[in-house]
Copies of this chain bind each other. A is one copy, B any other.
């Protein structure tokens, strides 16, 4: 049996990997975009769950793997309508959104 190697990182691991030294400007700026980070991993996790590659997901949605990669890594913020498309068309799931007061 093959050992399943997860690419999913914790927030801190993600930042270490992508934004260098703790306490730096770039790293701190990410703090404000925490929600984005979450959306990226959300898609990432769902995609892995479905056993799709970025390329396959991209094709279903009608975009490119490079764009999917950017979204998963929170380099681009995705529009809700686009996110919706990715989830419905690409992952065959559905997007839920709620406000907790």
Q: Is the CB of B99 within 8 A of A35?
A: no
Can you name the residue of chain B whose Cβ is closest to the Cβ of A96? Answer: B98
CB contacts (< 8 Å) of A99 on chain B: these are 42-43, 46, 87, 91, 93-96
Known: A78-B80, A80-B77. A95 touches B35 (CB 8 A): yes
Copy tally for this chain in the complex stands at 2
On chain A, the number of residues with a Cβ less than 8 Å from chain B's Cβ atoms is 29
Given contacts A35-B97, A80-B80, A94-B100, 12 further A-B contacts (CB under 8 A): A33-B81, A42-B97, A43-B99, A46-B101, A77-B79, A77-B80, A91-B101, A95-B100, A96-B97, A96-B98, A96-B100, A97-B98
